[in-house]
Structure 1
Amino acid sequence: MSSVRVRAAGAVLWRRGPHGAEVAVAHRPRYDDWSLPKGKLDDGETVPAAAVREIAEETGFRAKLGRHLLTVRYPVASGPKSVDYFSAAVVSGAFEPNEEVDELRWLAPADAAGLLSYDSDRSVLAEFTALPAGLTTLLLVRHAKAGKRDDWSGDDDLRPLSPSGVRQAGALRVLLPLFGPDRVLAAPRLRCEQTVRGLADDLGLPVEHEDLMTEEKYWEDRQAGLARLLAIVSAGGTPVLCSQGGVIPDLVAHVANRGGVRLPVDEGEKVPSKKGSVWVLSFRAAPGNGGPQLVAADYLPTALPVPAASHA
Structure 2
Amino acid sequence: MNGTHTPPNYPDPRTSANIHAAGTVLWRHAPGSVGSVEIAVIRRPKYQDWSLAKGKLDPGETPVLAAARETQEETGLRPRLGRYLGKVTYPITGHRKMKRVDYWAAQVVDGEFSANSEVDELVWCPLSTVMSELSYPMDRQIVRAFTKLPADTHTLLVVRHAKAGRRDRFKGPDEQRPLESAGHRQALALVPNLLAFGAQEVYSAEPVRCVQTVAPLAEELGGEVEIEPLLGDIGYAADPEKARDRIRSLASARAVRVLCSQGDTIPDLVRWWADRDGMRLSPARTRKGSVWVLSFAGDRLVAADHLDRSLSVDTAPAVTG
Query: TM-score when scaled to structure 1?
Result: 0.91
2:63 is aligned with 1:47: yes
User: Secondary structure, in 3 states, of the residue corresponding to 1:280?
Assistant: strand
Q: Would you say 1:13 and 2:20 are equivalent positions?
A: no
Match of 1:274 among 287, 300, 308: 287
- Aligned partners of 1:4, 1:305: CA distance in 2, in Å? 14
SS of the aligned residue for 1:110 comes to coil
- Distance in 2 (CA, whole Å) between partners of 1:79 and 1:259 is 41
Q: Which of residues 133, 138, 150 in structure 2 aligns to 1:132?
A: 150
2:281 corresponds, among 253, 258, 263, to: 263
For residue 198 of structure 1, give the secondary structure of its aligned residue in structure 2: helix
Residue identity matched to 1:55: T
**Partner residue in 2 for 1:309:** none
RMSD, aligned α-carbons: 1.5
Equivalence for 2:12: none
Aligned equivalent of 2:318: none
Identify the residue that residue 296 of structure 1 maps to in structure 2. Answer: 303
Describe the SS at the equivalent of 1:134.
coil
In the alignment of these two chains, the number of paired residues is: 293
Structure 1 stretches (4+) deviating beyond 4 angstroms?
303-306
2:46 to 30, 38, 60: 30
What are the residue-to-residue correspondences of 1:108-123 with 2, within 5 Å?
108-123=126-141
Q: Is 1:167 paired with 2:185?
A: yes
Alpha-carbon deviation of 1:236? 3.1
Q: Secondary structure at the match of 2:71?
A: helix
Distance in 1, matches of 2:128 and 2:140, equals: 10
C-alpha distance in structure 1 between counterparts of 2:163 and 2:259, whole Å: 16
The residue matched to 1:175 in structure 2 has which SS? Answer: helix
Task: Give the drift of 1:174.
Answer: 2.2
Give, as a single letter, the amino acid of the residue that structure 1 aligns with 2:20: R
For 2:28, give the aligned amino acid. R
Deviation of residue 180 (structure 1)?
0.4
Which whole-Å CA distance do the structure 1 matches of 2:29 and 2:70 have between them?
21
Cα distance, 1:235 vs structure 2: 6.0
The runs of 5 or more residues in structure 1 that have no matched partner are 266-270, 286-291, 307-312
Kindly tell me: are residues 227 and 305 of structure 1, through their superposed partners in 2, closer, same or farther at Cα, counting changes over 3 Å?
A: closer
Describe how 1:199-214 pairs up with structure 2 within 5 A.
199-214=217-232
The TM-score with structure 2 as length reference comes to 0.88
Aligned positions of 1:138-149 closer than 5 A: 138-149=156-167
Which segment drifts farther, 239-248 or 155-164? 155-164
